Each structure stands twice: as structure tokens, then as C-alpha cells.
């Protein structure tokens, strides 16, 4: 692996990626009315088409899956047309893009739900924290536990979202199984207290994930489907008594589907790991048979190291890609790098979204660029 680095090409299923730099999914809360992507969203993604692969911001598969204002959907004809603006712009710029399929589960509020209904979850356990709504911050409520007979309809929402993603011109889809949203809520025993076939053992808790993945693969084919998991991320009041055992069970079973990739949000130093090994990227390399994407605060040196070691095949970047639309080129030149403006991460207009400058042609590495 000594000759391989973040700028080396990679064959991802039927796609040939020019580099191993992945734009991570990042919620930006800038969709238009009706949660429809707009021309501004198309500009933002097209600016970053130099990525080996772009993974879109999380995109709700149904009105029930909504958890934040201004996040795009993939369940209406208008949303499909809006996403077409984006994929056409990315493809014109020479890029490749997957859509991330999302259902927030309990991380919502009745003011965001159709008819003011309760959010749904595997179990009726209220998360700590507050929901961001157009009426201001509101305490999370106790969700309604999904009936076993309802789960197939939620799986169908994911399949339908995957179908719509194809109509919108995406190159594939990534299922969002991370960061405390619905699939993750089923996976981890801190949020799943069910006693039916969707609860109890790690294999049962992973059943909803497997059913979603099978439905999406049936729509796209495995070579154009990935999944993102975050075994230890405590975001959204999440915990698991033995994340290594839980996620090894899930990933070992996912191997049979021969997916395009597994995208892992690695443990941060402060993440809780009550029992078992620390499920980092090297842990998953031992058990995952396909392409592996690493994520969590990587810079150029660390990304090259993990790829040269063979622990990961690709690395995804979030805030660094947000602030540096030409990130692969900046990696090639060794910098400089714009500094992200965290005040403009969520909501708003072009400021902090499409106005980060790219390097000028022939610009020397000594240029310091914009700082934010």
C-alpha cells in the first residue's frame, strides 16, 4: 500500500473515483419551501465536484422522517425535481454523488410532524435535549413506539426514497444508520428496549437495518449502495452497553449483501465504550469484506496514513470540505486551507455556503486564503 494515498484513484463498484476524498454528508438547513433543493444547493455541491465521491446531506424519506427545518426530502415530485438540479450540476462538473437516506425517528417534535403526531421510535424513550423548530427550541417529547406491523411501511419509505433518488439522477445511495437517528435507535440498547423480534439480542436489534438495506439494494443493486454507522457517537443521547459486540454483529451480517461500502464514524476520545473493544476503523477492517470509508476529524497526514496502512480505502471530510470547495486540489498542493465559519453552518443563505473561495489557477501554496 506504500504507493497509495488520498489522491490515488479507487474503483468503487462500477464507479471509478479519481481520488479517495469523500465529501461527508453535512446537514446545512438550506432547502427551499417544501424541503425542496434549490439552485443554490446545486451551486454548493457542484463547487465540490472534485471529490472522489459526494455524499449528500441527510435527506428524509418521508414527512414522518423530518427532524429539522430546511432539510431536504426525497418523497415528493417537487423534491425529486429539485435534486435533479443538483445532480445535473455535479455531473456537468465531472462529479459523482450518492444521496443519503434518512429518518430521524425520535429526534423530532410534534410541530414538525404531519398532523402534530408524536415522533416514532423503537421504544417510547424521550431523548435528552431540544428540537430545533420554526417556533424555537422545544424539549424533545416521549416518542411513540412503532408497532411491529408498522415497521414494513417505514422500510417501504426507504425503498421509495431510493427509487426517487434514481429518478433524481444520483449515482447511488447511502443509508443513514448513524448519529442517533431511527436506524441507530434500533441498533443500540440504550434506545431499544423492545421484547419482540426487533429487540433484545444484537441480531434482533439490527433486524430493522437489515430489512432497510435489503429493500434499498433491491432497488439499486448492492454495488451502488452504502451504509453509515457510528458505533459510539453519543450525539442525540445515544449509548450502548457493548458497541463492539452490537456493531460487529450488524456488520458481519451486512457482509452478505456485498454493499459498495461501509462508512464508519470513528470513536472520539470522549465517546463511551462501557464494554468490549473500541470499534475504530481497524476493528471494522478485520470484519468487513468490502470498501471502507473512515470519518472523524481527519487531516491530510492522518488520511494518508490510514490509507497507506490499509485500514481504510477512502476518508470522508466534513467541515474541512465545507470550507474548502476544492479540497482535493488543496491536498495536492499541500494547502492552504480556509477555516470553517461555524456561525454559518446551519441555515441562512450564500454566506458560509457558496462563498468560500477556491484556489486560483497557478496560485502558489504560500497564499493564505480566506480565514473564517
Q: What count of other Cβ atoms lies within 10 Å of the Cβ of residue 213?
A: 25
Grid cell in block for residue 100: 443519503
Grid cell in block for residue 133: 423548530
Q: What count of other Cβ atoms lies within 10 Å of the Cβ of residue 206?
A: 25
DSSP assignment of 264-288:
EEPPPTT----SS----HHHHHHH-
Residue 150 backbone dihedrals phi, psi, to 5 degrees: -85, -20
Instruction: Give yes or no: 181 in active site.
Output: yes
Residue 23's beta-bridge partner residues?
54, 317
Which one from 68, 158, 181, 261 is the annotated catalytic residue? 181
Grid cell in block for residue 362: 497557478
CB–CB of 32/349 below 8 Å?
no
What are the strands, taking DSSP E only, across the chain?
10-12, 15-17, 21-23, 53-60, 97-102, 120-121, 130-133, 136-139, 144-145, 172-177, 225-229, 261-265, 291-295, 314-317
C-alpha separations of 173 from 177, 201, 301 in Å: 12, 28, 29
Residue 102's beta-bridge partner residues?
60
CB–CB of 221/12 below 8 Å?
no
Residues listed for the chain: 372
Please list the active-site residues: 181
Amino acid at each position: 500500500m506504500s504507493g497509495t494515498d488520498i489522491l490515488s484513484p479507487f474503483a468503487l463498484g462500477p464507479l471509478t473515483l479519481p481520488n479517495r476524498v469523500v465529501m461527508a454528508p453535512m446537514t446545512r438547513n438550506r432547502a427551499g419551501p417544501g424541503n425542496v433543493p434549490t439552485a443554490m444547493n446545486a451551486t454548493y455541491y457542484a463547487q465540490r465536484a472534485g471529490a472522489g465521491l459526494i455524499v449528500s446531506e441527510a435527506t428524509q424519506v418521508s414527512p414522518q422522517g423530518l427532524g429539522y427545518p430546511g432539510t431536504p426530502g426525497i418523497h415528493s415530485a417537487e423534491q425529486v425535481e429539485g435534486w435533479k438540479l443538483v445532480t445535473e450540476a455535479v455531473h456537468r462538473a465531472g462529479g459523482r454523488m450518492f444521496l443519503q437516506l434518512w429518518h430521524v425517528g425520535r429526534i423530532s417534535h410534534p410541530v414538525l410532524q404531519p398532523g402534530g403526531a408524536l415522533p416514532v421510535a423503537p421504544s417510547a424513550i424521550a431523548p435528552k435535549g431540544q428540537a430545533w423548530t420554526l417556533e424555537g427550541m422545544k424539549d424533545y417529547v416521549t416518542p411513540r413506539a412503532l408497532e411491529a406491523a408498522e415497521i414494513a411501511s417505514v422500510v417501504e419509505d426507504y425503498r421509495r426514497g431510493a427509487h426517487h433518488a434514481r429518478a433524481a439522477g444520483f449515482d447511488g445511495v447511502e443509508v443513514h444508520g448513524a448519529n442517533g437517528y431511527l436506524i441507530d435507535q434500533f441498533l443500540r440498547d440504550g434506545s431499544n428496549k423492545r421484547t419482540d423480534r426487533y429487540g433484545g439480542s444484537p441480531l434482533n436489534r439490527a433486524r430493522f437495518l437489515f430489512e432497510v438495506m435489503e429493500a434499498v439494494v433491491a432497488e439499486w443493486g448492492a454495488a451502488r449502495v452504502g451504509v453509515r454507522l457510528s458505533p459510539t457517537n453519543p450525539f442525540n443521547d445515544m449509548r450502548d452497553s457493548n458497541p463492539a459486540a452490537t456493531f460487529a454483529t450488524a456488520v458481519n451480517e451486512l457482509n452478505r449483501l456485498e454493499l459498495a461500502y461501509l462508512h464508519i464514524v470513528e470513536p472520539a476520545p470522549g465517546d463511551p465504550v462501557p464494554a468490549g473493544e473500541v470499534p475504530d476503523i481497524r476493528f471494522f477492517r478485520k470484519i468487513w469484506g468490502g470498501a471502507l470509508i473512515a470519518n472523524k476529524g481527519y487531516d491530510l497526514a492522518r488520511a494518508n496514513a490510514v490509507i497507506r496502512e490499509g485500514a481504510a480505502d477512502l476518508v470522508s471530510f466534513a467541515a474541512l470540505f465545507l470550507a474548502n470547495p476544492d479540497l482535493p486540489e488543496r491536498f495536492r498542493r499541500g494547502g492552504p486551507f480556509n477555516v470553517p465559519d461555524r456561525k454559518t453552518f446551519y441555515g441562512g443563505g450564500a454566506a458560509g455556503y457558496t462563498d468560500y473561495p477556491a484556489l486560483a489557477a497557478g496560485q502558489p501554496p504560500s497564499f493564505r486564503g480566506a480565514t473564517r
